[in-house]
Amino acid sequence: MIATIQYKSRKLKIDLTQPIDISIAINASKNNVNAWYVAPPKITPVVDGNWVANVKNGACINFNNIEFNPHAHGTHTECVGHITEEVQSINKHLKTYFFLAEVITVAPEKLNDDFVISKKQLQFAIGNKKRDAIVIRTLPNTNEKLTQQYSHTNPPYLLEEAAVYLRQKGVKHLLIDLPSVDKEKDDCQLLAHNAFWNTKGKIRKHATITELIYVPNKVNDGMYILNLQIAPFENDATPSKPILYNILE
């Protein structure tokens, strides 16, 4: 099925039968991707006395409770409520779901004891392109990202200057294959989060950050249509399923 999307003055065609899923699913396993020092997610049947809500155990239905943390256990999309005292809901602020996106690949640079993504790297990768969303794939890019245990590993992160650059360039939606755009242990400065959402100025309530994505190596850098699908949680963050579509010539 071919769909036509109007983007400003351009009509762009995409093939809806060829989605590129760049999300990491949540599963009840110690091998589930994990960050921020929490236990693995749990998916367990409801128990009511001797009754266990599992067909395998004799029930007529499977009826599970799910325990997880959206920031730690898979691909998630967050709003500025992640870092503000005032409660903000991603479900209320994200109201459109299709965006013109650019996929870029970046090899984080060594800075003291860290690996970082700088403004200069983003400038080189994006150039003069104007995009609603930027999807950052970091190198090395292996399928170990699907099961990585990130706690206490000091993963790469964005420098504040890089987040400022994206904000000033008008990028509304930032997607990255790391557990955070900020340094794992930074004394709660959250420099990149604050810079991207402009918390010291007019806060960008409709801007989002999506973390813990995975962009397979077969996906080329370049322009795509992004469908940013979220679960409707009234929370600062929610599990999400970002989908890319190739733009047809």
Cα dihedral 87, 160, 184, 27 in deg (nearest 10): 60
Asked whether the whole model's pTM tops 0.85, one would answer: yes
Determine the CATH number of domain 2-25+70-248.
3.50.30.50
Across the chain, what does the average pLDDT equal?
97
Mean pLDDT to the nearest integer, 202-218: 98
CA distances from 146 to 30, 194, 216 (A): 12, 27, 11
Q: Read off the pLDDT of residues 126-159 as tens digits, 9 standing for 90 and up.
A: 999 999 999 999 999 999 999 999 999 999 999 9
Note the pLDDT of residue 8: 81
Is residue 119 very low, low, confident or very high in pLDDT (cuts 50, 70, 90)? Answer: very high
Note the pLDDT of residue 158: 98
Measured CA to CA, the distance from residue 59 to residue 74 in angstroms comes to 30
59 Cα distance to chain centroid? 37
Is residue 116 very low, low, confident or very high in pLDDT (cuts 50, 70, 90)? Answer: very high
Mean pLDDT to the nearest integer, 170-183: 98
DSSP lists the bridge partners of residue 103 as 135, 222
Do the beta carbons of residue 44 and residue 56 sit within 8 Å?
no
Is residue 241 very low, low, confident or very high in pLDDT (cuts 50, 70, 90)? Answer: very high
Q: Read off the pLDDT of residues 50-71 as tens digits, 9 standing for 90 and up.
A: 999 999 999 999 999 999 999 9
Is residue 10 very low, low, confident or very high in pLDDT (cuts 50, 70, 90)? Answer: confident
Return the domain boundaries, the chain. Answer: 2-25+70-248
Closest among 115, 86, 106, 101 to 208, alpha carbons compared: 101
DSSP lists the bridge partners of residue 2 as 15
Task: Report which secondary-structure segment, H or E, holds 90.
Answer: helix 90-93
Is residue 219 very low, low, confident or very high in pLDDT (cuts 50, 70, 90)? Answer: very high
Note the pLDDT of residue 6: 87
Task: Give DSSP secondary structure letters for 150-204.
Answer: -TTS---EE-HHHHHHHHHTT--EEEESSS-SS-SSSTT--HHHHHHHTTTSS--
Note the pLDDT of residue 122: 98
DSSP lists the bridge partners of residue 209 as 78, 174
Return the structure tokens found at 19: 């989605």
Q: Give 34 or 3, the one with higher predicted confidence.
A: 34
Note the pLDDT of residue 206: 97
Note the pLDDT of residue 210: 99
Note the pLDDT of residue 9: 84
Task: Give DSSP secondary structure letters for 93-150.
Answer: H----EEEEEEEEE-PEEETTEEEE-HHHHHHHHTT---SEEEEEESS--GGGGT-B-
